[in-house]
Each structure stands twice: as C-alpha cells, then as structure tokens.
Amino acid sequence: MEVEDALKLVGEFGRCQIFLCILLAVVLQLYVATEVVLIAILGVTPPYHWVYDPLTTSGGHNASEEQRHLHFEGNFTSISSEWSLVDAQAYKVSAASSIFFGGVLVGVVSFGQLSDQFGRKWVYVTGLALDIVFSLVNAMSPSFPVFLGTRFMVGVMNGGMSLVAFVLLNECIGATYWALVGSLSSLCFALGIAQFALIGFFVRWWRLLALVVNVQGAAILLLSLWIPESPRWLYAQGRLQDARDALLLLGRLNRSKPKPFALTPRQKDSGASRSKILSICRSAVLRRRTLLMMWAWFVCSLVYYGLTLSTGDLGGNIYFNLALSGLAEVPAYPLCMYLINHKSCGRRRTLCGFLSLGGVSCLIIMAAPGQRGWWSSQTFSLLGKLCISAAFNIVYIYTSELYPTTVRSLGMGVCSMFSRFGGIIAPFVPALRSVWWVLPYVVFGSSGVTAGLLSLLLPETLNCPLPQTLSDLQVSTYHCLEEEESCLLREDAAQAEPGMGAEVSSEEEEEL
C-alpha cells in the first residue's frame, strides 16, 4: 500500500489535520503577514519641517552659519523619524523592504533543500524560533545598519519557514483538500495585513509595535513542537516504518481505528539526485514547468507587493488604506477556490484569467487619471490587487501539484526564489512616477498579461494523481491526459445523437 492509500485509512482531513490547518494555515499566516508588511507602517514618514538654528562659529570668526534640525509632528514614530530618513535619505526605507525580500529569497532556496534532506518539521520549527529571535533584535536595533542586518535575517527565516510549513501541511492532508487549505492560507495572509493595520492603529511607537507582533509567533512556536512529521516525506525517503508510525499517529489523533496495513517499498529514482537542483534541470518536463512558473511567481510578487507597499500613495489614513488593501483580497479566495476546482476552468485557465485581468486592470488606470467614483484609479488598483491575490494563491497550489514529492519543497523553493526578485524590485517601482505618472502601472499591467498568456502552456493538474518521484511524472501526466480526453469524449457522445454518439466514441477509443 502506498502512502496516499494509507492516508485515506487514517483520515485525510480529521481532527489532527484540522488542528494543523488552524495552526499552519490560519494563525501562522496571520503572523507571517505582519512581518512581510511591517515596513508599510514602520517606514511611514510623519509630517515634518526643518528648523533653522543660527550658530556662531568658534575661533574668533564673526561670520555665522545656519544648521538645520528636523522636527517631526504627528502622534506616531517610525524608522524615518528615528534615523531621519527623509529627502535624500528616503530611499533607505525602500531599501529596507528590498533587503527583507532579499533575505526571503535566500530562505526559500536554502530551507527548501534543508527540508528535503532533514525533514519538514524540525526545519520549520528551527526557522520559526530564529525568526522570533531576529525579530526581537530587529525591534531593539540601536542603529539603522543593525536594523537592516536583522531585517535581512528575519526575511531569511520568515520566508524559509513559511514555505516549509505550507509543504508540511499539504503532505499531512489528502490531496483533494490542498486547494481548500491553500486558499485558506492566502485568505488569512490578507487578514493578517488588516490585523497588522489594526494593531498599528493602537500601538504608535514603532519599537513596541515590532515587539507586540511577535507574541503571536511565540504561541505558534510552542504549539508547533507537538505536530507530526510529514508521512509523505518519510515515505519518499524510504523510511517506511517511520512513515507508518506517523500515519498511525494521525489516525490516533483523528480517533480512527484503521485496519492493519503495510507500506510498499518504492524503487529509488535512477540517476536522479532527490534533493539537488540538478534533478529538476535534468528532467525536460520539470525544466519546462519550472521556467514557466518562475515567471508567474515573479509577476505575482512584483504586482502584489508593489500595490500593497504603495498604499501610502492613496492619500488619507495610512492604517485605513493598509486594512483596505488587505480586505480587498478577501473576495478573491472563495471565487478562486471555486474556479480552480470546476472542470471547465481548472488550475491553468483560472490562473491565466486572473493574471490577465489583473494586468488589464492596471493598464486601465492610464485611462482614469483624476477620476472619482467607480471609474477611478483607486478602484482599478484594488481590482488589480484582488486579481493578483487570487493568482498568487493559485500558483502556490498549482506548483505543489506540478512537482513530485521528492523535489516538491525544492521546486517550490526555486519558483518562490524568483518571486522574491519581484519583491525586491517592487518597492522601487512606484518611484517611476517621477518619470511618467502611469509608468508603474504599465510595468504591472504588461507583466501580468504576459504571465497569464504563458501559463496556458502548463499542463492541467485538476483531478490528476500526484507524482511521488521523478519517474512518476511521465506516467502521471499520461494518465491525467488520458482521463481528461476520455471525459471529453463521453460528454461529446452524450450530447450527440444516440447512434452517432456510439460510433464516434468507439472510433476515438481505438485511437487512444
């Protein structure tokens, strides 16, 4: 018996999986979101003006010179007011965001390989613990260089451990629930943005705000010590007894009494290294999928964080704008979850639709300068945020289904790595307004449309069996295509006339 069949015996989504879902898909994502968008509040510049103090030079000279002093107003503090990051120094705030995403880039690649080699659970738990430690040091930074350094390390741990947690959760539940859990994770990330805006509204001192958000992370860490290891990873490693014990633990926690079972040993991949990037490069199927998904991930990150981190440009209350930016994503996830599971849409067409519509929404902003009401730049900006959020949710689910278990975490890490390049560039794209006010939206719109069209070259994975090893890829893809074509033939035969339907069906079946 393979691990997929054994998981059905112990329960694909029982009490234990519901707890893991709440912990890793709900509470953890609320915490991760606060760390990702932390600079959206910490980097806001309070109202300020320059105060000129005349000073008389020493040394007997009668000449005098003026020295400027910054005076900040408002009822909150930020890193801008702490270290005077204004005017010529204002670029350092965007640099802090880019450095964080640079750390995330390092984290998703390194943690992906580490979790493929040493297991999901302890790599995730270690990363979460270090994430909290570096976040605390970041909140108490005595200087801006120290803030940048610790911000980079927070990005490494935050990006790496959240990726491994997503893989761990998916590998502990039935594959039919992956889309549901993935959509729930993305939904809670959006709610985490709104939650952070609410916390920031009441906590106006930036150091205290950076400390308060880690209380949630500490509680998650304590609960994470008791979660099981991924049975799919153990099975892919050939540790059959450990995989069986992990499955039985899930069964006990689910309060189910499965029949006795034994896991069937699997043959190792010939000539493929299970935990190295070369495994992906050697496979023509994986190489094609990886290149296409890397561009999709890059565009999703570029547009998503570009629109999120520029909420201050909307004018008005920064806390309200940030909360609205997060809440605008909420309708995307139930709609996305419905479409990707509908046979007429699936993963591929839904991803293409949301990426293209998000890009078109950003391009329409060029035709709505200064407009008010529903035909305004704010309306289409939020529509673009909704569409790109749905696309971001789909690429997580879609990518995890395109890779076999032996390199799934690594494959997602490679694709996620390229998305972080988008995150690194995103804080600087709004600065293109100084060249032409619509140029940022031209960048967002054109990249979204191209990514949407290229996604049509990917295979459909809806209702397809998940590959366990590299050798399963060709077989899995063949059976999935065969099943899809058979379903289409049956539908055509049912819609045709009785006599003609039987004749067409038999001819097509002979060709297959």
Contact 150, 38 (CB under 8 A): no
∠ CA 351-357-362, rounded to 5°: 130
Look at residue 282 in the predicted model and tell me its pLDDT. 76
Average pLDDT of 378-407?
84
Collapse the DSSP code of 71 into the 3-class scheme (helix H, G, I; strand E, B; otherwise coil) and give the result: strand
Tell me the residue type at 122: W
Could you give the CA distance from residue 77 to residue 214 in angstroms, rounded to a whole number? 19
Predicted local distance difference test score (pLDDT) of residue 261: 75
| Apex 293 CA angle, 292 and 294, nearest 5 | 95
Q: Each residue of 26-57: pLDDT tens digit?
A: 999 999 999 998 988 888 888 777 776 655 44
CB 161 within 8 A of CB 127: yes
For range 73-85, the mean pLDDT: 85
| Matching residue, tokens 């991930």 | 297
pLDDT of residue 135: 95
* Residue 471 vs residue 498, higher pLDDT: 471
DSSP-derived 3-state class of residue 336: helix
Q: What is the pLDDT of residue 160?
A: 92
For the chain, percent of residues with pLDDT exceeding 90: 29
Which pLDDT score is estimated for 57?
A: 44
Name the 3-class secondary structure at 230: coil
Q: Rounded to 5 degrees, what angle do the CA atoms 217, 220, 225 make? A: 130
State how far the Cα of 150 lies from the Cα of 95, in Å rounded to an integer.
13
What count of other Cβ atoms lies within 10 Å of the Cβ of residue 336? 29
pLDDT tens sequence across 83-134: 988 877 888 888 898 999 899 888 987 888 898 888 899 999 999 999 999 9
Does the pLDDT value for residue 192 go beyond 50?
yes
Q: Give residues with Cβ within 8 angstroms of 51, minimum separation 6.
A: 68, 69, 70, 71
In DSSP notation, 159-181 reads HHHHHHHHHHHHTTS-GGGHHHH
For 261-299, what is each residue's pLDDT tens digit? Answer: 778 776 655 444 444 567 777 778 888 888 999 999 999
3-class DSSP state of 192: helix
Return the structure tokens found at 274. 């299970």
- pLDDT, mean over the chain: 81
Buried b (16+ CB within 10 A) or exposed e, 132-171: bebbbbbbebeebeebbbbbbbbbbbbbbbbbbbbbbbbb
**Structure token digits, residue 375:** 């035909």
Rounded Cα gap, residues 246 and 4, in angstroms: 13
**Residue 374 pLDDT:** 52
Q: Give residue-wise pLDDT tens across range 332-343.
A: 888 888 898 888
pLDDT tens-place string over residues 218-247: 999 999 998 989 888 888 888 888 888 888
